[in-house]
Amino acid sequence: MKFKFVFASTLALIVGTAGAGPLDKTECIAGAKPGGGFDVTCKMAQSALLEGKFIADPMRVTYMPGGIGAVAYNTVVAQRPGDANTIIAFSGGSLLNLAQGKFGRYTENDVRWVATIGSDYGVVVVKQDSPYKSIQDLITALKSDPTKVVFGAGGTVGSQDWMKAALTAKAAGLNHKAMRFVAFEGGGKAVTALQGGHVHVYAGDASEASEQMKAGAKIRVLAVMADKRLEGSLSNVPTMKELGYDVEWPIVRGFYVGPKVSDADYKVWVDTFNKMMATPAFNKLLAERGLFKYAVTGPELDALVKRQVAGYRKLAEEFNLNVTK
């Protein structure tokens, strides 16, 4: 009986140990309040991982608002660097703020980048009856008299939307200081202002513009800031590059883990995302969220993030924004 008890106890211990790991009692940290992009990113992982049976229990979503992910980044690096069962959502906006030194003393080298699960792209949008029928029309107008063209976007100077507007002005050979720009609290208000004629051009996101057009917004997309034409409702819209302007603005969404997560646990997350993102169910989820497929993981993502932050840092310096090197 004693032998049976010891054997049973040992077996239970082995089973319990085998069940523990980075995919046990998982958590996703969203660096903003519920309802935003980080929340969507976390909930996509929550749904796809559970429905694909990559995790046994629903993933918990924790909210840490502040600084487009800055509070979450600092908390994880300083206080929870080895939490292997916790992934943290990031976006292109997070990388832009990292490049401008807005995450404090931490840089892109202080976490382990796991996976991107999708991307959005910048777009140049005008109202449906705008005199600007093409990017070339807009560029010509900007060159003729930049004071007569007003850009609107959901964000202040230095934000992603401001950057997209500044890059469009740069394509016309303008100094960004000559660009007229009005900041709004969110893309929805910017589109309302565009339709009302209060601004002439909206530098926004492809998925957002697509959804707004489906909802009846009287707007037209002149160009997308992607490396190739997008699929779906914007497939007929040219890229800035094919029109002769070297402007790209991908808006990635993905996850990282703390800097002290072991190589083995990090690999589990990378492998799991690779398998998850290869499923038809995940592609369906992407389409429902209005995102475009963009699956980059592990060391490849690490290299991509570092290239992107370096590029953002260079842009920020070029546009005379505050940058901490």
Query: How confident is the prediction for the chain on average, in pLDDT?
Result: 89
Yes or no: say if 142 and 174 are a contact pair by the CB < 8 Å rule: yes
Task: Could you list the beta-strand ranges (E) of 64-161.
Answer: 86-91, 112-127, 150-153
Please choose, from the candidates 290, 267, 261, the residue with its C-alpha nearest in 3D space to the C-alpha of residue 123: 290
Six token digits for residue 41: 């990113």
Task: Give how far the C-alpha of residue 72 lies from the chain's centroid of Cα atoms, to the nearest Å.
Answer: 15
pLDDT tens digits along 152-185: 987 788 888 899 999 999 999 988 888 999 988 7
Same fold, 25-120+250-318 and 121-234: yes
Instruction: Output the pTM of the full model.
Output: 0.79
> What architecture (CATH level 2) is domain 121-234?
3-Layer(aba) Sandwich (3.40)
Six token digits for residue 141: 């107008």
According to DSSP, the residues that pair with 183 across neighbouring strands are 153
CATH of 25-120+250-318, one of 3.40.30.10, 3.90.550.10, 2.60.120.1060, 3.40.190.150: 3.40.190.150
Residue type, 98: L
Question: At residue 11, does pLDDT exceed 80?
Answer: no
Mean predicted confidence (pLDDT) in 295-306: 97
- Using CA atoms, how far residue 243 sits from 16, 128, 224, 226, 229, in Å, is 59, 20, 10, 12, 12
Six token digits for residue 207: 């998925």
Backbone dihedral angles phi then psi of residue 156, each to the nearest 5 degrees = -90, -175
Angle, helix 160-171 to helix 135-144, in steps of 10 degrees = 80
Question: At residue 136, does pLDDT exceed 60?
Answer: yes
pLDDT tens digits along 221-270: 999 999 999 988 899 999 999 999 999 999 899 999 999 999 999 999 99
Confidence of residue 12 (pLDDT cuts 50, 70, 90): very low
Query: Looking up tokens 């916790």, which residue turns up?
Result: 86
pLDDT tens digits along 42-51: 999 999 999 9
Yes or no: say if 248 and 223 are a contact pair by the CB < 8 Å rule: no
Mean predicted confidence (pLDDT) in 129-147: 95
Question: At residue 2, does pLDDT exceed 70?
Answer: no
3-state DSSP call for residue 238?
Answer: coil
3-state DSSP call for residue 231?
Answer: coil
Query: Looking up tokens 């609290």, which residue turns up?
Result: 185
3-state DSSP call for residue 122?
Answer: strand
Give domain limits for the chain.
25-120+250-318, 121-234
Share of the chain above pLDDT 90, in %: 66
pLDDT tens digits along 176-228: 888 999 988 777 788 889 999 999 999 988 888 887 888 888 999 999 999 99
Question: At residue 19, does pLDDT exceed 90?
Answer: no
Question: At residue 8, does pLDDT exceed 70?
Answer: no
3-state per-residue secondary structure call for 147-187 = HHCEEEECCCCCCHHHHHHHHHHHHCCCCHHHCEEEECCCH
Whole-number pLDDT of residue 13: 39
Mean predicted confidence (pLDDT) in 263-283: 96
Mean predicted confidence (pLDDT) in 65-77: 92
Mean predicted confidence (pLDDT) in 118-122: 92
